[in-house]
Amino acid sequence: MMQQDFGVARFTRRDAIRVLAAGTGLGALPALTGGSDVLAGLQRTGAPGALTRRLPRGSIIRTLLRDVPPEALGTGAVLFHEHLSINLGGLGRGGRQGAPPLAPVTDNVDLIAQLVNKAGTEGVSCIVDGGHTDMGRKLDDLRTIARRTNVHIVASGGFYMQRVYPPDIATRSEDQLADDLVRQATEGRFGAFGEIGEDPNGAELTLDERKVFRAVG
């Protein structure tokens, strides 16, 4: 989330990244200049499992189509890590040698839109797509799905893991990567930062992975 009335002079690039990385766009700019209201904004009260949201006035959720107030989600569920558009064929897993990769099911935008609409009838009010460009996410497909459904769709940015990083990751600094992330979020209307991970087969983070994690954090 963001608040439109904030002190730009005090708001840094890394502040912007922390807002988005808070998840589902549920960070808020006022928390960056006035304490940790948002990060501590989900507090349990009353009956077990009850949640009271305390968010700064003017907070928004940045969906692909428009900025909406938190109340627009109503009491529906928020799915915070889904993949409505993804193609991990470039990771080199599976399939017969020489066989063309199968088209991912998410290429069928009509089907995905139908499934999202069905989820909406079952109580889902918002879906956060956790993919980004290096995961084969098609932003235009997400926009199409968003227009065809009544479920709020939040897109995210980021870098997935070493084996699909853009080649220039190795030569760019943390600050340059952070600048790139903010620019991409602005241009693409991202409301969150998505799936950012490490090679599960590696003993420890690579130098590039460490750089990406620091840029996001």
pLDDT over 60 at 127, yes or no = yes
Predicted confidence at residue 105, as pLDDT, reads 93
CA 101 to chain centroid: 27
In 3D space, the residue among 85, 77, 209 whose CA is nearest the CA of residue 139 turns out to be 85
**Cβ pair 197, 163 in contact under 8 A:** no
Predicted confidence at residue 156, as pLDDT, reads 94
Q: What residues are paired with 59 via a beta bridge?
A: 3
What is the pLDDT averaged over residues 112-116? 98
Cα separation of the two ends of the chain: 17
Which residue's entry shows tokens 């938190």?
70
pLDDT over 60 at 13, yes or no = no
Predicted confidence at residue 46, as pLDDT, reads 42
pLDDT over 60 at 38, yes or no = no
Predicted confidence at residue 170, as pLDDT, reads 92
DSSP string of 1-52, one letter each residue: -EESS--GGG--HHHHHHHHHTTTT---THHHHH-STTTT-EEE-SSTT-EE
pLDDT over 60 at 21, yes or no = no
Query: 43 vs 59, which has greater pLDDT?
Result: 59
pLDDT over 90 at 62, yes or no = yes
- Spell out the domains of the chain, with CATH numbers in brackets: 2-216 (3.20.20.140)
pLDDT over 60 at 185, yes or no = yes
In 3D space, the residue among 123, 2, 9, 121 whose CA is nearest the CA of residue 57 turns out to be 2
pLDDT digits (tens, 9 = 90+) for 71-108: 999 999 999 999 999 998 866 544 444 556 788 999 99
Mean pLDDT of the chain: 78
What is the pLDDT averaged over residues 185-214? 87
pLDDT digits (tens, 9 = 90+) for 130-172: 999 989 999 999 999 999 999 999 999 999 988 889 889 999 9
- CA 154, CA 62: separation in Å to the nearest integer? 7
Predicted confidence at residue 35, as pLDDT, reads 38
What is the pLDDT averaged over residues 185-211? 87
Alpha helices in the chain (DSSP H): 13-21, 30-34, 109-121, 139-148, 174-188, 207-216
| Rounded-to-5 percentages of helix, strand, coil across the chain | 40, 15, 45
Q: Tell me the CA distances in angstroms from 5 to 11, 17, 47, 56, one per residue in order.
A: 11, 18, 35, 11
Predicted confidence at residue 26, as pLDDT, reads 47
